[in-house]
Copies of this chain bind each other. A is one copy, B any other.
Amino acid sequence: METRADDFYPTRLERPTESFERQDPVVHNKGSDRTNGPLSETELTHYERDGFLVFNNFLDQATVRQFREDLRGYEDDESILRSEGTITEPGKQEIRSIFGIHELSDRFDRLTRDPKILAMVRQLLGSEAYIHQSRINFKPGFHGKGFDWHSDFETWHAEDGMPRMRAVSFSIALTDNTPFNGPLMLIPGSHKTFLPCVGRTPEDNYQSSLKKQELGVPNDRDLAAMADEYGIKAPTGPAGSLIIFECNTLHASNANMSPWPRSNLFFVYNSVENQLQAPFCGNKPRPDFLGNRSNTEALVPVPEDEGRKTG
């Protein structure tokens, strides 16, 4: 396959190629606009250095409980269990993720349009934004499997046609993150480098890759170099904690070895100026529940009094 002239991040190549520096800013707001928002200069500097930020107790406990109750309801909801966006554990019927949840749940939709969150997103992306992907993740006690190391941007670029690194993920814990229930692990600083991955992408790759990712996985040598240089962090904290991470930050999670389930809300903002194109891997686009192309207008904040407390 030839690389397109507009492809700033060639990947899924036949042969291993060298990693290279990202071609995009990490914080896209410029000049005096930079600190025009809820994030302080210190927080922005940390985000630029590490590729993520952690806010403990971001979501109040009442709202966390409501989301957890919704989630228990989904386990008995046949229409959700049969939905294309519902992914089960390899070889099992246990739910692992429900994609497109902001279109199924009013509560989730309102959360993605929370005024404070959208103000942070505008500050980081330097523009209005829309939801590229949303999901609830379940990791049941004892039986929740892990995810290998990867950059989300690599997949969104190759399989969804996201042209530039101008997207940011929000992950809100609905259960405590402990060292034993398979918390998110990140390599701080890894977002500054793009690691091209090897291997032609088969059509409909997502049908297997959501259960176990085989493509879009960096090679061991590149990963080891990143972890050796930067180390690994696994933020732990109580339910309600928020982790904001840049779309190219390498992350993974281990299996849940505890009896305690782990669940979280996950939603990705993409800049309205970074609209999806044809996938750079040459395949047809993935379904909307993975890479939204239908509803890409700037999100409108919910009025303050309709939102729940975040802080």
Contact = CB atoms under 8 A, between A and B. Distances in A.
A227 B257 CA distance: 11
Contact of A254 (B178, B224, B227, B257): B257
A185 B178 CA distance: 13
A234 B185 contact: no
A261 to B, nearest CB: 11
Copies in the complex: 2
A220 B141 contact: yes
A259 B220 contact: yes
A255 B180 contact: no
Given A142-B220, A180-B232, A180-B234, A185 B259 contact: no
Interface string A202-232: 0000000000000000001001100110001
In terms of DSSP, what is the predominant structure of the interface of chain A? loop
A283 interface: no
Given A179-B179, A179-B234, A180-B234, A149 B220 contact: no
Interface residues of A, number: 23
Given A178-B232, A180-B254, 7 more contacts: A141-B224, A179-B179, A224-B259, A227-B258, A227-B260, A228-B259, A232-B257
Contact of A255 (B146, B234, B260): B146
Contacts of A302: none
Interface of A: 141-142, 146, 149, 178-180, 185, 220, 223-224, 227-228, 232, 234, 252-255, 257-260
A149 B257 contact: yes
A236 to B, nearest CB: 9
A264 B118 CA distance: 49
A147 to B, nearest CB: 10
Nearest to A221: B259
A149 B252 CA distance: 22
Contacts of A142: 220, 223-224
A103 B185 CA distance: 40
Contacts of A220: 141-142, 259
A254 B145 CA distance: 11
A162 B239 CA distance: 44
Contacts of A257: 146, 149, 185, 232, 252-254
Contacts of A179: 179, 234
A281 B39 CA distance: 63
Contact of A259 (B146, B180, B223, B253): B223
With a 10 A CB-CB cut-off, give which of A223, A228, A254 has the most chain B CB atoms: A254
A188 B180 CA distance: 14
Contacts of A259: 220, 223-224, 227-228
Contact of A232 (B185, B227, B255, B258): B258
A228 B258 CA distance: 9
